[in-house]
Amino acid sequence: MKPKSRVLGKGRELVLMPNQRGKLLEYTKGQGGYQSLCGRVYDSIRTKNGKLVAVVYEKDMQTILEAARRGDEGGWEALFRDIMAGN
């Protein structure tokens, strides 16, 4: 199996607030089609210098940014807009 970085590109670190981590977990479940993207980000969360830091791979970041540019109004899109605004 290829490493994620080879398939998904380089990673970018984003700092999350605790409530954002909880919301991200919600988007890893249920219906919608973006559970795997949210799951990869959620699974990457680590504590670094006292902050919650997630790694978002290049391919996933492209998907997130495209949704933001289109103005998509879904919950996961709003969450990532909120996360990116804090970075």
Q: What's the domain count of the chain? A: 1
Mean pLDDT of 53-75: 92
Structural domain range at position 30: 4-85
Q: At residue 2, does pLDDT exceed 90? A: no
Would you state the structure tokens that stand for residue 86, as one six-digit string?
A: 């804090």
State residue 58 phi and psi, 5-degree precision: -50, -45
- How far apart (Å, rounded) are the C-alpha atoms in residues 77 and 65? 9
Q: In this predicted model, what pLDDT tens digit does every residue of 47-57 receive, in sequence order?
A: 999 999 999 99
The pLDDT assigned to 74 comes to: 87
pLDDT in tens, 8-39: 678 999 999 999 999 999 999 977 779 999 99
Residue type, 65: L
What percentage of the chain carries pLDDT values higher than 70? 90
